[in-house]
Amino acid sequence: MAEITLLLGANRGEPHATFARATTLIEDRIGRILASSRDHWTEPWGFQDDRLFLNRAILLESDLAPARVMEKLLEIEMELGRERTSSDGYSSRTIDLDILFIGEQVIEQPGLSVPHPRVHERTFALAPAADIIPDLVHPVLKHMVIDLLDQTLHEP
């Protein structure tokens, strides 16, 4: 069993309802949810939009292989109305499900990088993660999640 930290994000449709459905599907298909962060409303990152994003981190345990977890997350995104374009840059979305951490594992496979390669730059990911795993040490950067959050909040 591995502990997996996911980030849910959305700014189109009804994010709270979408998160409720996503959480049910994640628990049914991937593993048992151990903890959930409070909800965080944040500005879009990497593009402009009038709508704020709702972000929430969840911690779950699963016996699925990491690549299989990613496959299941992509299936859930599609089922909940996520539309991907060929450019797939940053844009508004009904749901985004990202793997932030799998314990302290480091994974580099086609279509899967763990920890998430930009988690340390993103307050919108670190703040919800810090609600549930503040003491988790980033396996590459060797800093706790709470310290990485502090760094993003104090950058110029």
Q: Which residues are catalytic?
A: 82, 93, 96, 98
Residue 27: CB partners within 8 Å, gap ≥ 6?
Answer: 33, 60
| Cα(121)–Cα(11) distance, integer angstroms | 20
User: H-type helices in 44-84, by residue range?
Assistant: 66-79
Q: Check if the beta carbon of residue 103 is closer than 8 Å to that of residue 31.
A: no
Encode 77-99: b = buried (16+ Cβ within 10 Å), e = exposed: beebebeeeeeeeebebbbbbbb
